[in-house]
Amino acid sequence: MIQKRRETKETKIELELELYGSGKSKIDSGIGFFDHMLESFSKHSLIDINLNCSGDTHVDFHHSVEDVGIVLGDALREAIYPISSIERFGNASVVMDEACIECDLDISNRAYLQIELDVDGKIGEFDVELTEEFFRALVFRAGISTHIIKKRGKNRHHIVEAAFKAFAVALRRALEHNKRVEIPSTKGVL
């Protein structure tokens, strides 16, 4: 169980994360739609997450969403590295009605994000642009090279939720244990 705490003038976050869990979550970020996305991430990655964030949501949701990404990324980095006996690469396409989002990732200890969702506006009170801010913070802190690409879709909710689920499934697949792969790199270290 990894525990993380982050406190700034803008947010206070407490996190418990179990990398090889069962997808249980208890999440309160103060942002309803974001909670739903994090619950979906937990469920489909099979990572147990207990998260509480109190932030300056009276300003907007940016600080809370980005800082949760930072804390989750830090916890994932601590839980994953040093890498041994995992698949390393993962991919998934997730369909939600008319939307189909693909995620390909490499647990490489080299952070990169390519995100092409081609969606804007709001989902309830949630600014859709914060989706990219969340993933950028998470993958750069965790050291995961990630591509999240919209293959098709129109409904904002479906597109964003499918992105969270695709990332979750791809990560679960990349973290799959494989005893035949001691270090999944020709370098001998990641």
Classify residue 186: in a domain, yes or no. Answer: no
Q: Smallest Cα–Cα separation from 163: which of 116, 125, 122, 106?
A: 116
Phi, psi for 10 (deg, rounded to 5): -105, -30
Name the pLDDT band for 84 (thresholds 50, 70, 90).
confident
The pLDDT value recorded for residue 52 is: 98
Is the pLDDT higher at 128 or at 190? 128
CATH number, domain at 152?
3.30.230.40
Q: Is 46 in contact with 23 (CB distance < 8 Å)?
A: yes
Classify residue 185: in a domain, yes or no. Answer: no
Phi, psi for 169 (deg, rounded to 5): -70, -40
Q: What is the pLDDT of residues 153-183, one digit of tens each?
A: 999 999 999 999 999 999 999 999 998 887 7
Q: Has residue 146 got a pLDDT over 90? A: yes
Percent above pLDDT 70 for the chain: 97
Q: Which residue has the tokens 């169980």?
A: 1
Q: Give the span between the Cα atoms of 140 and 135, in whole angstroms.
A: 8
Find the domain containing 160 and state its range. Answer: 2-174
Q: Has residue 102 got a pLDDT over 90? A: yes
Cross-strand bridge partners of residue 37 = none
The pLDDT value recorded for residue 175 is: 97
Mean pLDDT for the stretch of residues 102-108: 97
Classify residue 120: in a domain, yes or no. Answer: yes
CA dihedral 160, 62, 15, 10 (to 10 degrees): -170
Classify residue 184: in a domain, yes or no. Answer: no
Q: Give the span between the Cα atoms of 130 and 30, in whole angstroms.
A: 15
Classify residue 179: in a domain, yes or no. Answer: no
pTM of the model: 0.95
Q: How many domains does the chain have?
A: 1
Classify residue 9: in a domain, yes or no. Answer: yes
Classify residue 103: in a domain, yes or no. Answer: yes
Structure tokens at 52: 């509480």
Classify residue 182: in a domain, yes or no. Answer: no
